[in-house]
Chains A and B, each alone.
Chain A
Amino acid sequence: MKGSTLWYLQRFSSVLILVYVTYITYFILGFEQISYITWMQFVETYLFKISTSLTFLIILTHSYIGLWTVGTDYLTSRTLGFLSMNLSEIANSSRLIYNVFFSGMGIILYIYLLVLVWI
């Protein structure tokens, strides 16, 4: 993937997350007092369900790019070599575990969110 594509993905996803936060804030501030019923009515709307599901996907994309960048900066044989040669030798496998861990966590959280929102 090209650097420009990743750059655009990160910037546009930030803007879309801001739009979602504004939408939620607007709803919360629009009521003097939020009751259980008004809240349930709000979260039962298709607009909320679809926007939340999409926004969480966007957050995952945004986070993945950020965490991948962090991993390829700090979990390399060179960077870990500054600390110890032993760590340097396991840099690639450490980065793989790190990638699998945050990707797996992202998928599990997303499935959990879909269950919460839709079921």
Chain B
Amino acid sequence: MLEINLYRYNPEKDKFPFMQQYQIKKPEKDIMVLDLLHLIKEEDNSLSFRRSCREGVCGSDGMNINGKNGLACITPLSDVLKGNKLEIRPLPGLPVIRDLVVDMTEFYNQYEKIKPFLQNDSEPPAEERLQSPKDRDKLDGLYECILCACCSTSCPSFWWNPDKFVGPAALLQAYRFLADSRDLEKDSRLEALSDPFSVYRCHGIMNCVAACPKGLNPNKAIGEIKSMLLKGKNSKNLITSDGATK
């Protein structure tokens, strides 16, 4: 039998959160943590959790599985079981709405702050803004983020200052647009990140790298942003719209 401890909290009924234990027969095949949650929900349909695509693309089912953030749908049970025990909690640092469902408002507020869209007010070409293969390569490892919040909610700086520190997920996206040769607002993007909190609260502990279920490296992107900020405006690190550096 598997001993599963789940974080439970229903603000309409419970004064405080508590851990509830479930005994589940060990499956014959290795299953994902999300499948296990579905097995538990068949027994207790009061359990709440988010899920959608069940293949690591939508980023809905980020949760803390035996102390490490990850996506339940792509985390095999065999990878996380300690003995026959498993403890599942909501993503840390965000307010809990119910059980494993967290309020992501603070996370999305930071994402909104970095203006996650291409800014280019030059005359648009007839068909599309082209990019050289070399410039396109610079976006690899940046655009793949699915905004599951596993990285940001594993970061103590984001726990302490979620309203001021942008957090690894949004900073990865900030660099995705700073590195994009088609974007013309690099100076204003950097200016918006230049205060002592937005970027510099990252102390490089790399929890974000360890937690990212897509294998991305937000810490490296944050390092690149810091370099750009330290070099100042019009530095050689800034890439112009035609792909050249100035």
Cα(A7)–Cα(B225), bound, Å: 13
Which of A1, A78, A79 sits near B196, CB closer than 8 Å?
A1
Q: Are A2 and B196 in contact (CB under 8 A)?
A: yes
B197 with A3: CB separation less than 8 A: yes
List B156-199 residues whose CB lies under 8 Å from chain A: 156-157, 159-162, 194-199
Interface of B, helix, strand, loop or mixed by DSSP? loop
A6, CB-defined interface residue at 8 Å? yes
> Given known contacts A3-B198, A3-B199, is B230 in contact with A74 (CB within 8 Å)?
no
A78 close to B199 (CB less than 8 A): no
- B157 surroundings in chain A (CB, below 8 A): 73
B198's nearest neighbour on chain A, judged by CB, is A3
* Chain B residues, Cβ within 8 Å of A74: 160
Is B226 at the interface (CB under 8 A from chain A)? yes
- State A3–B171 Cα separation when bound (angstroms): 15
- Report which of B160, B198, B199, B232 forms a contact with A79, defined as CB distance below 8 A: B160
- In A3-28, the 8 Å CB interface with B consists of 3-4, 6-8
B-chain residues with CB within 8 Å of residue A53 when the two chains form the complex: none
- Count: A-B pairs, CB below 8 Å: 38
Q: Given A7-B200, A7-B226, A8-B230 in contact, is the A2-B195 Cβ separation under 8 Å?
A: yes
Give the residue of B160, B229, B232 whose beta carbon is less than 8 angstroms from that of A73.
B160
A6 touches B196 (CB 8 A): yes
Dominant SS among interface residues on chain A: helix
Tell me which of B157, B196, B230 has the highest count of chain A C-beta atoms within 10 A of its own C-beta: B196
Q: Which residue of B lies closest to A5 (CB)?
A: B196
Which residues on A sit within 8 Å (CB–CB) of B196? Answer: 1-3, 6
Contacts of B195 in A (CB 8 A): 2-3
Tell me the bound Cα distance from A74 to B157 in angstroms: 10
Chain B interface residue count, CB cutoff 8 Å, equals 18
Asked if A51 is at the interface (CB within 8 A of a chain B CB), the reply is no
Total residues of chain A contacting the partner, CB 8 A: 13
Which A residues are CB-close (under 8 A) to B162?
Answer: 78
A88 within 8 A of B: no
Closest Cβ neighbor of A3 among chain B residues: B200
- A4's contact among B161, B197, B229, by CB below 8 Å, is which? B229
**Cα separation A70 to B229 with both chains bound (whole Å):** 22
Once bound together, how far apart are the Cα atoms of A63 and B156, in whole Å? 21
Q: Which residues of A contact B159 (CB under 8 A)?
A: 79
Complex: A2 Cα to B160 Cα, angstroms: 20
**A3-B194, A8-B230 as given contacts; A76 in contact with B161, CB under 8 Å:** yes
Minimal beta-carbon separation of B237 from chain A (angstroms): 13
List B contacts of A72 (CB < 8 A): 161, 197
Q: CB < 8 Å: which of A4, A73, A78, A79 contacts B230?
A: A4
For B231, give the chain A residue with the smallest CB separation: A4
Complex CA gap A2/B196 in Å reads 6
Q: B91 to nearest A CB, angstroms?
A: 15
- Residues of A with C-beta under 8 A to B160: 73-74, 76, 78-79
User: Which 4 A-B pairs rank lowest in CB-CB distance, beginning with the nearest?
Assistant: A3-B200, A3-B196, A73-B160, A4-B229
Residues of A within 8 A of B (CB): 1-4, 6-8, 72-74, 76, 78-79
List 4 extra interface pairs beyond A4-B229, A72-B161, CB under 8 A.
A4-B194, A7-B230, A72-B197, A73-B157
